[in-house]
Amino acid sequence: MGLFTKDIKTIDDLFLHVLQDIYYAEKRILRALPDMAEKATNRDLAATFKTHLAETEKHVQRLDQAFELIGEKPKATTCPAIDGIIKEANEIAGEVAEKKVLDAALIAAAQAVEHYEITRYGTLIAWAQDRGNEAVARLLNTTLNEEKAADKKLTTFAERKVTQKASR
């Protein structure tokens, strides 16, 4: 089912497609976070990536529950957006020669991922509420709040630690 194809006829079809999209994205992020933690030169940043890995595992579990609540089996649909964000992050990280600049690049990549997730979860929550599915909306809202907190933490790193170091 493609996003702009005739396969999506109803808002329920669209909801399912976007749910499958974020499911794919979360699983893809699970594979990317250990590499980001390994590349980070700042120990606190590496620890933040490891902590978010554990949170992301919970995000996948909540998505499994959301699928169950709407009577569907968990299934991922390829998400070119997250693939592109992660590909770009890997390319940029591979091109950074200065280690203190690498952490800034990793933060920028991680925030691009967080912002993508925030938009997807926000949309899914609105649609779930509109459809009267408060249980799904609550599950997804818990994840949305964690994604926003992760983004805020990354911003704090960028503003207080990493960017200042990279600028010197």
Q: What pLDDT does residue 91 have?
A: 86
Domains in the chain and their CATH numbers?
11-167 (1.20.1260.10)
pLDDT digits (tens, 9 = 90+) for 117-139: 999 999 999 999 999 999 999 99
Q: Are 46 and 40 in contact (CB under 8 A)?
A: yes
CA angle 57, 100, 119 (to 5 degrees): 40
Q: What pLDDT does residue 131 have?
A: 94
Q: What pLDDT does residue 92 have?
A: 82
pTM of the model: 0.90
Q: What pLDDT does residue 157 have?
A: 83
Average pLDDT value for residue range 2-17: 81
Q: Give the DSSP per-residue string, 94-149.
A: HH--SHHHHHHHHHHHHHHHHHHHHHHHHHHHHHHHHTT-HHHHHHHHHHHHHHHH
Q: What pLDDT does residue 4 have?
A: 54
Q: Give the DSSP per-residue string, 42-98.
A: SHHHHHHHHHHHHHHHHHHHHHHHHHHHTT--------HHHHHHHHHHHHHHHH--S
| 81-120 as b/e: b if 16+ CB within 10 A | bbeebbeebeeebeebeeebbbbbbbbbbbbbbbebbbeb
User: What span, in angstroms and rounded, lies between the C-alpha atoms of 84 and 133?
Assistant: 31
User: What span, in angstroms and rounded, lies between the C-alpha atoms of 59 and 65?
Assistant: 10
Q: Are 141 and 63 in contact (CB under 8 A)?
A: no
